[in-house]
């Protein structure tokens, strides 16, 4: 299985991204699940834009009132004053409404994003939980976590920073442009002269920054890896006196990252500052040309104020054009990465007519089973393996590394499907059984079990969270872990796992044994699951599991022959084929590979077998 | 367990199940906003860039000045060049020319400020990270032993980044404060009364802020926390997917994850409410301030006590006025985060350095490899010696196996030889010279170590075998690999010696990694070899290879082996049995068996590895003769 890592690189990561627009449409469709809210948000956005646009004319008319009435003469001061008050109140009203609608626009935009993210999160989690082992073998966990976190965020933000902002900016810039141009076409065009320049600059900068950003991420990741490995391997570093070498290695990576970081800042700074320069330039032009017009008497000071204020209001949205483009680009990239996963179907799934298993004799059969891991040019792992295990009987499997022992443990619960032959339980092909009932029937104790950061009892009761204390304690005592639990400060409530009390390899394996045996399943497979447990304890576990094993078909995979001696049948696997089979005694008598391995283990004094075997 | 009974049982009591870590991953502290000590230390890293920073500060002042003067120029243009009696094109042209100059200065200052601060920020951050990294290369190993790598990494990356954010923001904050004061001063100068009236809305904003901030912060924090909880659960689901499927926990886990994701969504909705709540407040106050300007200012204009240009300038300033206030409140949380990060970073930099070289340290080109421990006493904690008066010698070319129960001091002996720590009393010598007289680099060259966990770096197999020995050629590496028996499996890998090891060699078996670490020690070609044998159970096939490799490795070298396996122990020239920091027996395997002491009793327990011996039996063996 180690080799598949090299051969099967066509992971989801490399799949062709779906067309951009299709992805965006799909995101919009998902957002439309909340159509009332979406309608509300769009309405609020439009209202916010309108009120924002009302402010400059109001200011302008106020200025005109203040000035015009003064110079007009002959007007009653009372009228002028009330006109001012009216303008001020309108302005206040417009500001309040603009604020309220901006709130509604932003809040609803964010809310839809979070609702959408919630839906996607569940879909993603559910999908990953159900995708087959072969998928998880191929795709790196870090890659999946990135998709579930960063890519999901990219899609989430699209609603507010992409979709709604697009509506807002279209109205602000479009309608504003219309207003200005209709007021005065040349001055209007002049006020907007910076818009195309800024849009052009920001899209160039975005492309460049995106590349730089990706490179920087990569180089920082590289630097992070160097630091992480240095700290993890600090003893090796010290042992070889390699500190200077390590610092050199670090400096090289750091300088590489630094160069990109500098480049990024330079690019960003030169583009943002030149954009605001362009903005001020059109403001200056408006002031100049507008001023000349006022001097000509073809324009009022108030109109000029409208233009100047309007430019002020446009400053923010125009700067946001860059962000908008960025958000859309990000959403389409992120969305396609996310949908690639969501659209996958597990390769191993229930058949349409799958039924729960019907247990009668509790007999497991392998008929001429072959298996090849996915990928090109991969050699088959199992060739025509056949055996049978009855309830109450034990099959032992032994063989050199890579001989296919663990594959057998993976095929029975359908972690993978065989490429040839048939596996059955009580005559029913396991592919005709529902996965749920199959996996309840077949339990595998893994060699390197995963401990969850949770209490010990939660870990033991992982397969049946409703188990009562008695069941948990019985399982723990059968697995010989209860003594250790007694020494822990919080007993079964003690937090274990990555961030809890750390357990030794042997203790972890005992938890795994308790976890699997508590479930009282009809087929039990021990996949080299006592390798880190000392021989004496292993013996005790075997003793205490006896009543349980009498009620199930068990398969024990081990390289320690002591664990297999009492098996009803032992098969010796080599290169994926069964090359010897029999009981311990007949195999010894055969004087073949099994006997040789037995002798090897004896001579080394490498296992308990050495002395036990001699003593008997 | 049918789904019906599952529901019934679920109704009876909640499942004994959780997803994700039950401890918050968020290490963020919410401490002081200002910590003089942190600022002082941080400034010492900024000092090399002080010219940039000073220049940037000047640029900020110029930039803010330009920003402030733009409305004034507009005012002048309107009042003097457009509206007034003296209005003419010439004045307007002058005003526009001045405007052009000011915006150019504004641009230049803006560019200079952002660029200088940005670059200096990056440099300071890279310097700081490097300082931490370099410091960690030399701190006492005992510190590294106690430190969780993940936490250290989050200091090297996360904390450093939040300081960068702080540095960049603090310059902006400086600009904001200058801008704020500038606007206030200019408004008051233009028209004191109108200015005062306009500013009267500010206290309202401050009061609203004071009420809003603590609640909002709780909501923001909750949103961040639920984020990390949900992501933690996702990560666990991915890491443990095989166990989840094997145990059929998909449905239960999905429900549990749903709860977390829902909580996360709700926390975000709440935090979004708070984040947006300030918008109408600020907009209303801006509207109110503009209203004041229009009514009061407009009336004054009508009364001819105020120029219309002043009123227009006021309207401009009011619109800009609230920006700095808004961004300054954001600075608050940045500051808070930066102080917490700074504390954590400087905590690391304050960890005392381990041992450094003597000024006249020796660095011999060749050594013979005679080792002696003379009456060595040593411990990690005061008054708790791990080694008590240990005396033994290893002659050149000899192999000594250290044997004893956990905690007997075996590892400390190897650590002292390499001078990872200094002895309390007595001396460790190599060729008669105290190890404290050697240069550390010299010890690194003459002593090769193979550690229990065969650590490999990401990189090719070739690079891993050379490691620090840059002079090693392909021939040297292949020869070493052949000697330890790793050549065959290396050649079977897709790219042979150029195969890249991913994730620290997880694509190799433990046995194969061990053989590579042997090859690495061989290429280093040191006279003394210290080996801490792996305790993990390895299959018999690889085990044989390792034993063969070991005997070749130890040939013609002085070897100290912390041995766990009987096979290794029996292969040693001499066995040193340790118990509670003292040597209790020494001799060959046969001699020690004949002696019927601790070694004989341990041996009689029939364990392949002494580490396997259960505690109760070990205690028995330690306390007295075995029953047999």
- Which tokens belong to A437? 């009932």
* Tens digits of residue pLDDT in B139-181: 877 777 666 666 677 778 777 877 877 877 777 788 888 888 8
- Residue A345: DSSP 8-state: -
Which member of B16, B242, B273 has the closest CB to residue A467? B16
Residue A293 lies in a domain: yes
Contacts of B280 in chain A (CB under 8 A): 96, 99-100, 102-103
DSSP letters for B331-351: HHHHHHHHHHHHHHHHHHHTS
Residue A197 lies in a domain: no
Given this model, what pLDDT does residue B2 score? Answer: 42
Which of A67-76, A546-555, B357-366 has the largest mean confidence? A546-555
Q: What is the mean pLDDT of chain A?
A: 83
For residue A311, the domain's CATH number is: 1.20.1560.10
Residues A340-360, mean pLDDT to the nearest whole number: 91
**Which residues make Cβ contacts (< 8 Å) with residue A588, sequence separation at least 6?**
A594, A595, A598
Residue A139 lies in a domain: yes
Given this model, what pLDDT does residue B468 score? Answer: 78
Q: How wide is the angle at C-alpha A273 spanned by C-alphas A271 and A278, nearest 5°?
A: 95
Kind and range of the H or E element at A564?
Answer: none
Mutate to test the interface with A, among B291, B447, B490 (most CBs of A within 10 A): B291
- Which tokens belong to A296? 């000509």
Inform me whether the C-beta atom of residue B231 falls under 8 Å from chain A C-beta atoms. yes
For residue A530, the domain's CATH number is: 3.40.50.300
Other beta carbons within 10 angstroms of residue A319's beta carbon come to: 15
User: Confidence class of residue A401 from pLDDT cuts 50, 70 and 90?
Assistant: confident
Residue with tokens 């949908």: A339
C-alpha A336/C-alpha B596 separation (Å) is 72
Given this model, what pLDDT does residue A607 score? Answer: 41
Is residue A100 predicted with pLDDT exceeding 90?
A: yes
* Tens digits of residue pLDDT in B372-409: 999 999 987 778 888 998 999 999 889 999 887 767 78
Q: What is the mean pLDDT of chain B?
A: 82
Residue A480 lies in a domain: no
> Dihedral, CA atoms, B574, B579, B580, B583, nearest 10 degrees?
-40
Residue A455 lies in a domain: no
Given this model, what pLDDT does residue B11 score? Answer: 53
Same-domain status, A126 and A209: no
Given this model, what pLDDT does residue A19 score? Answer: 66
**SS3 for B463?**
helix
Same-domain status, A411 and A269: no
| Domain enclosing residue A287, as ranges | 203-298
Same-domain status, A334 and A288: no
C-alpha A154/C-alpha A335 separation (Å) is 8
Residues A325-339, mean pLDDT to the nearest whole number: 83
C-alpha B211/C-alpha A92 separation (Å) is 23
- Which tokens belong to B457? 């770096």
Cβ <8 Å between B283 and A2: no
- Which tokens belong to A73? 């003469």
**Which residues make Cβ contacts (< 8 Å) with residue B471, sequence separation at least 6?**
none
Same-domain status, A135 and A245: no
Given this model, what pLDDT does residue A449 score? Answer: 82
Number of domains present in the structure of chain A: 3
**SS3 for B100?**
helix
Q: What is the 3-state secondary structure (H, E, C) of A99-141?
A: HHHHHHHHHHHHHHHHHHHHHHHHHHHHHHHHCCHHHHHHCCH
Same-domain status, A340 and A272: no
Q: How wide is the angle at C-alpha B47 spanned by C-alphas B41 and B49, nearest 5°?
A: 135
Residue with tokens 């994730």: B503
Same-domain status, A260 and A319: no
Same-domain status, A161 and A212: no
Given this model, what pLDDT does residue A612 score? Answer: 35
Is residue B31 predicted with pLDDT exceeding 70?
A: no
Given this model, what pLDDT does residue A585 score? Answer: 92
Residues A119-134, mean pLDDT to the nearest whole number: 93
Residue A356 lies in a domain: no
Radius of gyration of chain B (CA): 36
* Tens digits of residue pLDDT in B427-465: 999 999 998 898 888 888 888 888 777 788 878 899 889
User: Confidence class of residue A1 from pLDDT cuts 50, 70 and 90?
Assistant: very low
Query: Which is it for strands B574-579 and B558-562: parallel, antiparallel or unpaired?
Result: unpaired
Cβ <8 Å between B133 and A230: yes
Given this model, what pLDDT does residue B311 score? Answer: 84
Other beta carbons within 10 angstroms of residue B36's beta carbon come to: 8
Top-confidence residue, B16 or A96: A96
Same-domain status, A541 and A604: yes
Cβ <8 Å between B294 and A224: no
**SS3 for B20?**
coil
**SS3 for A428?**
strand
C-alpha A545/C-alpha A538 separation (Å) is 10
Share of chain B above pLDDT 90, in %: 14
Strand-pairing partners, residue B384, are B381
DSSP letters for A31-55: HGGGHHHHHHHHHHHHHHHHHHHHH
Given this model, what pLDDT does residue B611 score? Answer: 58
Given this model, what pLDDT does residue A17 score? Answer: 44
- Residue B77: DSSP 8-state: I
Closest chain A residue by Cα to residue B261 = A118
**Which residues make Cβ contacts (< 8 Å) with residue A217, sequence separation at least 6?**
none
Closest chain B residue by Cα to residue A561 = B540
Given this model, what pLDDT does residue A9 score? Answer: 33
Residue A129 lies in a domain: yes
- Residue B32: DSSP 8-state: -
CB interface of B with A, residues 458-517, below 8 Å: 458, 467-468, 470, 494, 502, 504, 507-509, 511
Same-domain status, A292 and A307: no
Top-confidence residue, B166 or B22: B166
Is residue A378 predicted with pLDDT exceeding 70?
A: no
User: Buried b vs exposed e over A239-267: b needs ≥16 C-beta within 10 Å?
Assistant: bbbbbebbbebbeebbebbbebbbbbbeb
Is residue A605 predicted with pLDDT exceeding 50?
A: no
Inform me whether the C-beta atom of residue A242 falls under 8 Å from chain B C-beta atoms. yes
User: Confidence class of residue A606 from pLDDT cuts 50, 70 and 90?
Assistant: very low
Contact A512, A445 (CB under 8 A): yes
Cβ <8 Å between B82 and A236: no
Lowest mean pLDDT among A67-71, A510-514, A565-569: A67-71
Contact B534, B452 (CB under 8 A): yes
Same-domain status, A319 and A405: no
C-alpha B628/C-alpha B123 separation (Å) is 70
Q: How wide is the angle at C-alpha A421 spanned by C-alphas A417 and A424, nearest 5°?
A: 75
Same-domain status, A164 and A72: yes
Radius of gyration of chain A (CA): 36
Residue A500 lies in a domain: no
- Which tokens belong to B72? 């004034």
Residues B63-89, mean pLDDT to the nearest whole number: 82
Which member of B137, B273, B287 has the closest CB to residue A94? B287
Given this model, what pLDDT does residue A120 score? Answer: 96
Mutate to test the interface with B, among A606, A608, A611, A616 (most CBs of B within 10 A): A606
Residues A421-428, mean pLDDT to the nearest whole number: 94
Same-domain status, A308 and A392: no
């Amino acid at each position: 299985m180690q080799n598949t890592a090299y051969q099967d690189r066509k992971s989801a990561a490399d799949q062709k991204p779906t067309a951009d627009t299709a992805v965006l449409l799909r995101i919009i469709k998902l957002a439309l699940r909340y159509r009332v809210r979406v309608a509300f948000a769009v309405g609020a956005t439009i209202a916010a834009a309108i009120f924002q646009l009302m402010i400059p004319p109001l200011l302008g008319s106020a200025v005109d009132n203040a000035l015009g009435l003064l110079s007009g003469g002959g007007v009653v001061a009372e009228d002028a004053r009330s006109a001012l008050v009216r303008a001020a109140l309108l302005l206040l009203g417009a500001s309040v409404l603009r604020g309220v609608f901006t709130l509604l626009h932003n809040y609803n935009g964010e809310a839809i994003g979070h609702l959408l993210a919630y839906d996607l999160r569940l879909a993603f989690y559910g999908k990953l939980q159900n995708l087959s082992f072969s998928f998880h073998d191929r795709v790196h966990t870090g890659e999946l976590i990135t998709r579930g976190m960063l890519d999901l965020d990219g899609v989430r933000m699209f609603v507010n920073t992409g979709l709604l902002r697009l509506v807002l900016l279209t109205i602000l810039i479009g309608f504003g442009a219309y207003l200005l141009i209709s007021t005065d076409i040349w001055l209007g065009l002049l006020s907007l002269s910076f818009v195309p320049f800024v849009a052009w600059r920001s899209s160039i900068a975005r492309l460049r920054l995106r590349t730089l950003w990706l490179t920087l991420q990569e180089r920082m990741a590289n630097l992070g890896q160097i630091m992480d490995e240095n700290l993890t391997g600090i003893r090796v570093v010290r042992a070889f006196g390699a500190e200077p070498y390590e610092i050199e290695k670090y400096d090289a990576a750091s300088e590489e990252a630094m160069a990109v970081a500098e480049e990024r800042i330079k690019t960003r700074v030169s583009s943002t500052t030149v954009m605001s320069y362009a903005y001020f330039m059109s403001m200056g032009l408006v002031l100049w040309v507008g001023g000349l017009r006022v001097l000509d008497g073809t324009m009022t000071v108030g109109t000029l104020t409208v233009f100047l204020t309007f430019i002020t209001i446009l400053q923010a949205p125009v700067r946001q054009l860059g962000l908008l483009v960025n958000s859309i680009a990000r959403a389409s990239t992120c969305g396609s990465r996310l949908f690639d996963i969501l659209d996958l179907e597990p390769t191993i799934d229930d058949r349409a007519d799958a039924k729960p298993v019907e247990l009668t004799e509790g007999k497991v059969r392998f008929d001429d089973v072959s298996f090849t891991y996915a990928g090109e040019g991969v050699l088959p792992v199992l060739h025509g393996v056949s055996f049978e295990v009855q309830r109450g009987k034990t099959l032992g499997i032994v063989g050199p590394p890579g001989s296919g022992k663990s594959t057998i443990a993976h095929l029975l619960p359908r972690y993978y499907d065989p490429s040839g032959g048939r596996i059955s339980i009580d005559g029913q092909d396991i592919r005709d059984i529902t996965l749920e009932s199959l996996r309840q029937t077949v339990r595998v104790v893994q060699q390197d079990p995963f401990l969850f950061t949770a209490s010990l009892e939660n870990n033991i009761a992982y397969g049946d969270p409703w188990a009562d204390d008695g069941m948990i304690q019985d399982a723990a005592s059968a697995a010989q872990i209860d003594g250790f639990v007694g020494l822990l400060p919080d007993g079964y409530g003690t937090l274990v796992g990555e961030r809890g009390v750390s357990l030794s390899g042997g203790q972890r394996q005992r938890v795994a044994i308790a976890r699997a045996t508590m479930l009282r399943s009809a087929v039990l497979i021990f996949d080299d699951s006592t390798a880190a447990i000392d021989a004496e304890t292993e013996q005790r576990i075997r003793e205490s599991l006896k009543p349980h094993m009498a009620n199930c078909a068990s398969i024990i995979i081990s390289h320690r022959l002591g664990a297999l001696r009492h098996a009803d049948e032992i098969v010796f696997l080599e290169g994926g084929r069964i090359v010897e089979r029999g009981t311990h005694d007949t195999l010894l008598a055969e004087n073949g590979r099994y006997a040789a391995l037995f002798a090897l283990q004896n001579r080394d004094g490498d296992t308990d077998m050495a002395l036990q075997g001699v003593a008997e | 367990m049918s789904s019906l009974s599952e529901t019934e049982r679920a109704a009876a009591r909640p499942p004994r199940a959780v997803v994700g870590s039950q401890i918050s991953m968020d290490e963020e502290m919410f401490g002081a906003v200002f910590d003089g000590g942190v600022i002082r230390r941080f400034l010492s890293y900024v000092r090399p860039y002080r010219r940039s920073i000073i220049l940037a500060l000047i640029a900020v002042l110029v930039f803010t000045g330009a920003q402030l003067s733009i409305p004034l120029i507009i005012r002048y243009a309107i009042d003097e060049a457009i509206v007034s009696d003296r209005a003419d094109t010439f004045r307007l042209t002058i005003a526009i020319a001045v405007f052009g100059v000011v915006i150019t200065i504004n641009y230049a200052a803006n560019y200079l400020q952002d660029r200088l601060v940005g670059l200096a920020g990056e440099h300071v951050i890279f310097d700081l990270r490097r300082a931490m990294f370099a410091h960690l290369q030399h701190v006492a190993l005992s510190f590294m032993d106690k430190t969780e790598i993940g936490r250290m990494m989050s200091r090297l990356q996360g904390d450093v980044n939040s300081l960068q954010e702080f540095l960049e923001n603090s310059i902006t904050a400086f600009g904001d404060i200058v801008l704020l004061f500038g606007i206030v001063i200019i408004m008051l100068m233009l028209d004191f009364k109108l200015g005062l009236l306009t500013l009267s809305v500010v206290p309202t904003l401050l009061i609203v802020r004071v009420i809003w901030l603590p609640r909002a912060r709780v909501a923001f924090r909750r949103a961040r926390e639920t984020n990390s909880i949900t992501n933690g659960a996702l990560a666990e689901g991915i890491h443990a997917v095989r166990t989840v499927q094997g145990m059929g926990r998909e449905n239960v886990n999905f429900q549990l994850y749903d709860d977390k994701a829902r909580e996360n969504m709700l926390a975000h909705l709440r935090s979004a409410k708070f984040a947006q709540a300030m918008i109408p407040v600020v907009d209303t106050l801006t509207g109110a301030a503009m209203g004041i300007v229009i009514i009061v200012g407009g009336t004054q204009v009508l009364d001819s006590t105020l120029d219309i240009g002043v009123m227009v300038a006021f309207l401009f300033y009011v619109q800009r006025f609230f920006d700095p206030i808004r961004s300054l409140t954001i600075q608050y949380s940045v500051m808070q985060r930066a102080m917490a990060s700074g504390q954590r970073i400087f905590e690391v930099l304050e960890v005392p350095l381990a041992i450094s070289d003597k000024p006249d340290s020796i660095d011999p080109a060749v050594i013979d490899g005679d080792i002696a421990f003379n009456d060595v006493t040593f411990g990690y904690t005061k008054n708790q010696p791990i080694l008590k008066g240990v005396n033994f010698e290893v002659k050149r070319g000899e192999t000594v196996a250290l044997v004893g129960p956990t905690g007997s001091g075996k590892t400390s002996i190897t650590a002292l030889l390499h001078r990872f720590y200094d002895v309390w009393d007595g001396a460790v010598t190599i060729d008669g010279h105290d190890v404290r007289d050697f240069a550390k680099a010299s010890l690194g060259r003459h002593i090769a170590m193979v550690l229990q966990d065969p650590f490999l770096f990401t990189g090719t197999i070739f690079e891993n075998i050379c490691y620090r020995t840059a002079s090693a050629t392909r021939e040297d590496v292949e020869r070493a690999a052949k000697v330890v028996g790793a050549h065959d499996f290396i050649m079977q890998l897709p790219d042979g010696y150029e195969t890249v090891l991913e994730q620290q060699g997880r694509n190799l078996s433990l046995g194969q990694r061990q053989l590579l670490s042997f090859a690495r020690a061989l290429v280093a070609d040191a006279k003394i070899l210290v080996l801490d044998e792996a305790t993990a159970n390895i299959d018999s096939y690889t085990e044989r290879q390792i034993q063969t490799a070991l005997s070749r490795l130890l040939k013609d070298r002085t070897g100290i082996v912390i041995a766990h396996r009987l096979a290794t122990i029996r292969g040693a020239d001499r066995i040193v049995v340790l118990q509670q920091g003292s040597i209790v027996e020494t001799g060959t395997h046969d001699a020690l068996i004949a002696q019927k002491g601790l070694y004989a009793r341990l041996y009689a327990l029939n364990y392949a590895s002494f580490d396997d011996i259960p505690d109760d039996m070990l205690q028995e063996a330690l306390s007295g003769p075995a029953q047999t």
